[in-house]
């Protein structure tokens, strides 16, 4: 509306659907088992097992500048330096534009041994990782929608995301059809402020009550998005 000067009353929003049942099932017998995939880190450690859910932070997506990977790494360094957290940072995804800067940042980090890269991962591996980490980090500069946020919420992992573009609307907190004023189902941050990203992430790590609240709100939030609702909204518009 700002760019094209279109009147608000002429705009209808149809949300993308999310298939809540797309997650790969995991049996109770495997729920506490270490992840079987390989981590390729800058250090000599080649294989890591996620035995303790509370010791990993995760980003999933292409490793490129617009995803604010540099900011995530800087925030992680603050978390290690200021709060002495035991966590490792997992960056899961293929390299993209500006990866050379990201690689340089990792190689020169005081905590490079705790920054792990997976390279490409399958959808099954992605959901397995999301289930086993403490916090999902997604403070990107811009998102058209932000499906990874819903993916993490759908498996009960709390999210720290950017307070920009589509994200605030995607993580609205609602009870039924009523918006809970001032509440979000993820913790939102200024993506240009690594200190803020670190502090908000630490809140989720250290405050169990807040963590559980955000987890439950996230599970509820995912129910707002389905392809059935998407189709119904489009049909309703066409029949106006």
Spans in the chain with pLDDT lower than 50: 24-36, 38-48, 53-54
Please report the pLDDT score of residue 23 as a whole number: 55
Nearest to 95 by CA among 110, 86, 105: 105
Please report the pLDDT score of residue 39 as a whole number: 47
Please report the pLDDT score of residue 20 as a whole number: 63
The DSSP result for 35-58, as a single string, is P-S--EESSS--------GGGEEE
Distance CA 120, CA 82 (A): 31
**Residue extents of the structural domains in the chain:** 36-238
Q: Under CATH, which architecture does the 36-238 domain have?
A: 3-Layer(aba) Sandwich (3.40)
Please report the pLDDT score of residue 177 as a whole number: 54
Please report the pLDDT score of residue 162 as a whole number: 97
Please report the pLDDT score of residue 68 as a whole number: 98
Sheet holding 135-138, edge to edge: 40-41, 115-119, 88-92, 56-60, 135-138, 159-162, 187-189
Nearest to 137 by CA among 213, 227, 202: 202
The DSSP result for 90-101, as a single string, is EEES-B-TTHHH
Question: Locate tokens 């499906």: which residue?
Answer: 147
Question: Locate tokens 């086993």: which residue?
Answer: 132
């Amino acid at each position: 509306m700002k760019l094209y000067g279109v009147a608000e009353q002429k705009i209808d929003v149809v949300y993308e659907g999310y298939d809540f049942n797309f997650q790969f099932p995991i049996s109770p017998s495997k729920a506490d088992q270490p992840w079987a995939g390989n981590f390729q880190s800058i250090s000599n450690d080649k294989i890591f097992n996620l035995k303790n859910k509370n010791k990993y932070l995760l980003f999933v997506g292409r490793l490129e500048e617009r995803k604010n990977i540099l900011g995530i790494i800087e925030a992680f360094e603050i978390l290690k330096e200021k709060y002495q957290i035991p966590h490792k940072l997992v960056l899961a995804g293929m390299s993209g534009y500006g990866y050379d800067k990201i690689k340089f940042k990792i190689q020169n980090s005081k905590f490079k041994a705790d920054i792990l890269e997976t390279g490409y991962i399958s959808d099954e591996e992605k959901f397995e990782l999301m289930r086993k980490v403490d916090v999902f980090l997604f403070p990107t500069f811009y998102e058209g929608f932000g499906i990874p946020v819903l993916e993490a919420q759908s498996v009960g992992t709390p999210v720290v995301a950017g307070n920009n573009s589509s994200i605030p609307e995607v993580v609205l907190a609602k009870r039924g059809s009523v918006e809970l004023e001032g509440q979000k189902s993820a913790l939102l941050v200024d993506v240009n402020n690594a200190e803020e990203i670190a502090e908000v992430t630490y809140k989720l790590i250290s405050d169990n009550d807040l963590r559980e609240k955000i987890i439950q709100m996230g599970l509820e939030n995912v129910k707002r998005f389905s392809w059935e609702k998407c189709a119904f909204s489009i049909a309703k518009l066409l029949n106006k």
